[in-house]
Amino acid sequence: MASNMKAVKLRIKSVQSTMQITKAMELVASSKLRKAKERAEVCRPYFTELHETLKEIARENTDFSSVYAKESSNNKTCYVVIAGDRGLAGGYNTNLFKCLEASAEGKDYMVLPVGKKAVDYFRQREIEALTEQFAEAGSIEMANMLCTEFRKGTFGHIELCYTVFNSMLSQQPEVFSMLPMTDIREESGGKIETKNLILYEPDGETVFDAIVPEYLAGLVYGGICESTASELAARRMAMDAATSNAEEMIDQLNLYYNRARQASITQEITEIVAGAEGL
């Protein structure tokens, strides 16, 4: 009985140590989440308007032969996958990869991983990667690299896979097309009639080719901001749940320890009384 009580006591100390770690991680995630949430909310209007502008360009400006506006004969797709740098975030990374696998099923594709978890995931599965991990400050470099490889014909489609921050309790993985414009035109419901005649200098194709990398950089940066806030929110929820579970486990172990201790005391009293009666 004594050895059993000692094991329970050690177990209680172990769970208490784990609870201190999960509580600390929850507080750290909560402190970082406020700034990440503000940044995501500030970037969201720009991100949304940027994507809508791309749709509008795809629908209306089809009178020039930009490589970004043509339907590609290359069926290979490059997914820009924005995952987390660390684990212990519940189903954040797992849900993102499931969303990617559902979108990429049956396709010939490669990836541009952002985040250590994405790099490790695709490295383990030996999926072709465009390059190594990029930091958040590399969104412009990523966009330039994607545009360069797209013009070379390395792949014919570019899609962004990230997690949308809906609220503190809800984060939704999403995939949408960035290039070519024919893919975006399909998403936006096809062509519409152009109402205004816009003149570009020196010409529409040159202007269009110059601004597309900037658009892609803005979309990638917006996706990173949304994903960062989503990861922190998911980690805060996961650590809060882990802390609550640890508290429940400690209560149950304390109850079991007290019962075992009471049984041990009762047994000792019974033995003493029996010995006294024998005398």
Pair 110, 126: CB distance under 8 Å: no
- Taking the C-alpha atoms of residue 65 and residue 88, their distance in angstroms, rounded to an integer, is 48
CB count within 10 Å of CB 9 equals 15
Which residues does residue 113 pair with via DSSP β-bridges, in sequence order? 81
- Taking the C-alpha atoms of residue 38 and residue 221, their distance in angstroms, rounded to an integer, is 14
* pLDDT tens per residue across all 279 residues of the chain: 556 778 888 888 999 999 999 999 989 998 888 889 888 888 888 877 877 776 676 666 555 567 887 777 888 999 999 998 888 888 899 999 999 999 999 899 999 999 889 989 998 988 988 876 565 557 888 888 899 999 888 999 999 999 999 888 889 999 988 888 776 666 555 554 545 556 666 766 677 777 788 888 888 888 999 999 999 999 999 999 999 999 999 999 888 888 888 887 887 788 777 777 766
Q: Which of 36, 38, 79 is nearest to 234 (CA)?
A: 36
Query: Which structure tokens are listed for 33?
Result: 């989440």
Bridge-based pairing of strands 109-114 and 77-82 is parallel
